[in-house]
Amino acid sequence: MPEHQITEEEVRERVRALLKEAHPDKTDQFTFRGKQFDHGLAWVHFPKGYGGLGISPGMQTIVADELHRNAKTTYDDMAINPIGIGMGAPTVLTHGTEWMKTNLLRRIFTGEDIWCQLFSEPGAGSDVAGLATRAVREGDYWKVNGQKVWTTLAHVSRWGMLLARTNPDAPKHSGMSYFLLDMKSPGVDVRPLYQITGEAEFNEIFLTDVQVPADRIMGKEGEGWKVAITTLMNERTAIGGATARRGGGAIGVLVDLWKSRAPAMYSAAHETVMRDRITRLYIESELLRMTNLRARAARKAGNPGPEGSVAKLAQAELNKRIWECAMDVIGGESLVYEPGFARRRPAANDHPSRLLQAKYQFLRSRANSIEGGTSEVMRNILGERVLGLPGEPRGDKDIPWKNIPRSA
């Protein structure tokens, strides 16, 4: 007999049952989210026992909606543990060992263990398969040496997703393996890198004779690229596929700014032009939001395909235009960057006013078309995997990695 399909109303009932057992307004984050995981409401498309119910990922919006209706305190996954929840969890579920699934998933969701991603290197970003960090097997351990860069949240992370070269004689894509790295291991040196915003949300990492136990490999030895693709596809969906409520997120800030400043600052003619520009951005935001909702509802349980890359491209480019428009709305004042932006590690979204938030986001949004794969690389994926255009020439694909000329 086919398994009973859980309906929307049943999902709502499950949320109400959860709230009777633990309420976010009355208990702390770890306790509440731990219970949410146990009820299968963390990520509903995951299997039962791993924080899910094995149903369509689209049902997660029902969980969020029911929580919003019944509690003042709501949690944003992407603020709590963006890399752990967005990328670590699906990677562990797809390629992790039973120990990893049982011991790591719940703590990722609660936010007890923050995660980071150690892929990029000084000589390998878009072409991450060209990476040079080496892992050499020594008995029960892999010994790792190398350098990673742009590692978001590494300074607060418990676990890292580490991609390293285990066979330099193989072609670049087939000589890598994927490891779960304990960020507290001896030999892991994390140093801050400051961005144009003044914040250091990411780091450079030096790995010197770091010992990784042999059973901390994800997937098989030499098949790290396959595992990395799972991480990357989920990263793009996490960045591009986030769906704020209608009129919320960046476009909401822009509209608020406009309402509070327009009458005082603009001539009637200029106001008409700006109004038109903001309306267009609003329509584009709404189109993207609805496209993401449709893609999520249509997706069966499992890992996302190229739609994540398309959403990421659209989101990154739209976000930049929204914050550019916000600077035009603010006018000359946008050139002043307040002293509150001294160099620091990022706290949560603690920018006090819409004005400050817009200035910060204008600078931060430049990174949107770089992080998680650049817009040019997203267009390559769109061209090849969605439109079926011929791939770009890849002359180094089949030769041993050690024979590929390198600059770093």
Ligand X SMILES: Cc1cc2nc3c(=O)[nH]c(=O)nc-3n(C[C@H](O)[C@H](O)[C@H](O)COP(=O)(O)OP(=O)(O)OC[C@H]3O[C@@H](n4cnc5c(N)ncnc54)[C@H](O)[C@@H]3O)c2cc1C
**Which residue numbers are catalytic?**
235
Beta strand 217-218 pairing with 176-182 = antiparallel
Query: Count residues contacting ligand X (CB under 6 A)?
Result: 20
- Rounded Cα–Cα distance for residues 252 and 255 (Å): 5
Question: Between the CA of residue 232 and those of 308, 323, 359, what are the distances in Å?
Answer: 9, 26, 29
Question: Between the CA of residue 141 and those of 81, 138, 178, what are the distances in Å?
Answer: 28, 5, 14
Interface map 358-397 toward ligand X (x if CB under 6 A) = ---------x--xx-xx-xx--x-----------x-----
Q: Choose the stretch contacting ligand X; rule: CB under 6 A; options: 110-118, 281-289, 298-306, 310-318.
A: 110-118
Closest contact distance (angstroms) between CB of 86 and ligand X is: 11
Determine, following the binding rule CB under 6 A, whether residue 125 of this chain makes contact with ligand X. yes
- Among residue numbers 135 through 164, which ones bind ligand X (CB under 6 A)? 150-152
Question: Between the CA of residue 23 and those of 10, 18, 36, 206, what are the distances in Å?
Answer: 19, 8, 10, 42
Closest contact distance (angstroms) between CB of 400 and ligand X is: 21
Closest contact distance (angstroms) between CB of 78 and ligand X is: 13
The Cβ of residue 391 has, within 10 Å, a number of other Cβ atoms equal to: 10
Closest contact distance (angstroms) between CB of 93 and ligand X is: 20
Beta carbon nearer to ligand X, 67 or 116: 116
Q: What secondary structure does DSSP assign to 245-270, as a single string? A: PTT-HHHHHHHHHHHHHHHHH--HHH
Classify 135 as helix, strand or coil.
strand
Closest contact distance (angstroms) between CB of 369 and ligand X is: 8
Closest contact distance (angstroms) between CB of 319 and ligand X is: 13
Q: Which helix (H) or strand (E) covers residue 62, if one does?
A: helix 60-70
- Rounded Cα–Cα distance for residues 69 and 326 (Å): 31
Determine, following the binding rule CB under 6 A, whether residue 404 of this chain makes contact with ligand X. no
Cα first-last separation, the chain = 59
Beta carbon nearer to ligand X, 161 or 325: 161
- Among residue numbers 236 through 295, which ones bind ligand X (CB under 6 A)? none
Residues shown for the chain: 408
Determine, following the binding rule CB under 6 A, whether residue 115 of this chain makes contact with ligand X. no
Beta carbon nearer to ligand X, 239 or 358: 239
Beta carbon nearer to ligand X, 11 or 161: 161
Determine, following the binding rule CB under 6 A, whether residue 319 of this chain makes contact with ligand X. no
Determine, following the binding rule CB under 6 A, whether residue 120 of this chain makes contact with ligand X. yes
Question: Between the CA of residue 128 and those of 21, 33, 132, 148, 150, what are the distances in Å?
Answer: 45, 34, 9, 11, 13
Interface map 177-216 toward ligand X (x if CB under 6 A) = -------------------------x--------------
Alpha helices, DSSP H, located in 113-176: none
Closest contact distance (angstroms) between CB of 105 and ligand X is: 20
Question: Between the CA of residue 164 and those of 52, 151, 187, what are the distances in Å?
Answer: 31, 15, 15
Is-contact 108 85, C-beta < 8 A?
yes
Classify 153 as helix, strand or coil.
coil
Beta carbon nearer to ligand X, 299 or 320: 320
Beta carbon nearer to ligand X, 333 or 376: 376
Question: Which residue is at the shortest CB distance from ligand X?
Answer: 125
Beta carbon nearer to ligand X, 26 or 379: 379
Q: How wide is the angle at C-alpha 79 spanned by C-alphas 260 and 183, nearest 5°?
A: 145
Closest contact distance (angstroms) between CB of 163 and ligand X is: 8
Q: How far is Cα of residue 26 from the mean position of the Cα atoms in its chain? A: 29
- Rounded Cα–Cα distance for residues 90 and 104 (Å): 11
Q: How wide is the angle at C-alpha 308 spanned by C-alphas 378 and 216, nearest 5°?
A: 100
Beta carbon nearer to ligand X, 277 or 351: 351
Residues in contact with ligand X by CB under 6 A are 116-120, 125-126, 150-152, 202, 367, 370-371, 373-374, 376-377, 380, 392
